[in-house]
Amino acid sequence: MARYNKIFLGPVEETKPQVRELNASVALKPGRLVVISSGEWALAAATTVGKVWLVQDNYLAMKGVDDDWTQDTTAIGIEMQDDQLYAARIANGVNITAIGTALTPGANGTLAIASTEDLIVAYSEEVYNNNSGSEQLLKVRPAGSQSYLSAAA
């Protein structure tokens, strides 16, 4: 069972985030990071350097955050805004020890802890040690503008 039941966490006073609908090139789990590749959603990877989007839960079909969008169907990607909160996936074994930890795209569209020269796409809004045995949703705030962590920081 997921730690959160929605990907867009608010605030509820704000309008819903901007989204884009594209074909899924692979099965997509809500909360994973994606990029647009050849006009379709593709999973972000550790080598991603461009804009990333966040896979939305399929609320149109009343599905939850653990229900994948199947390959070759239209999926919804959220354009993350820095004044809003989201639930994004981190891999098993990732230990977030401080609020504000810089996060970068990792393998399979999950978030990883950023190191020198990584693309920063979000910051953690909670402390969480994922030793659950599977990827989990983590409350995050997107980076104001996606940037790189410099060696001087």
Which CATH number do you get for residue 133?
A: 2.40.300
pLDDT digits (tens, 9 = 90+) for 54-67: 999 998 899 999 99
Assigned domain for 45 exists: yes
Mean pLDDT of 87-95: 96
Question: In this structure, is residue 47 part of a structural domain?
Answer: yes
Report residue 151's pLDDT band, with 50, 70 and 90 as the boundaries.
very low
Containing domain of residue 126, as a range?
A: 8-148
- pLDDT(53) > 50: yes
* 38 assigned to some structural domain: yes
Please, are residues 72 and 46 in contact by the beta-carbon 8 Å criterion? no
Domain count, the chain: 1
Within a domain: 153: no
Q: Residues 93, 35, 147, 124: what is their CA dihedral angle, to the nearest 10 degrees?
A: -40
Mean pLDDT taken over the chain: 90
Q: Which of 124, 27, 22, 23 is nearest to 79 (CA)?
A: 22
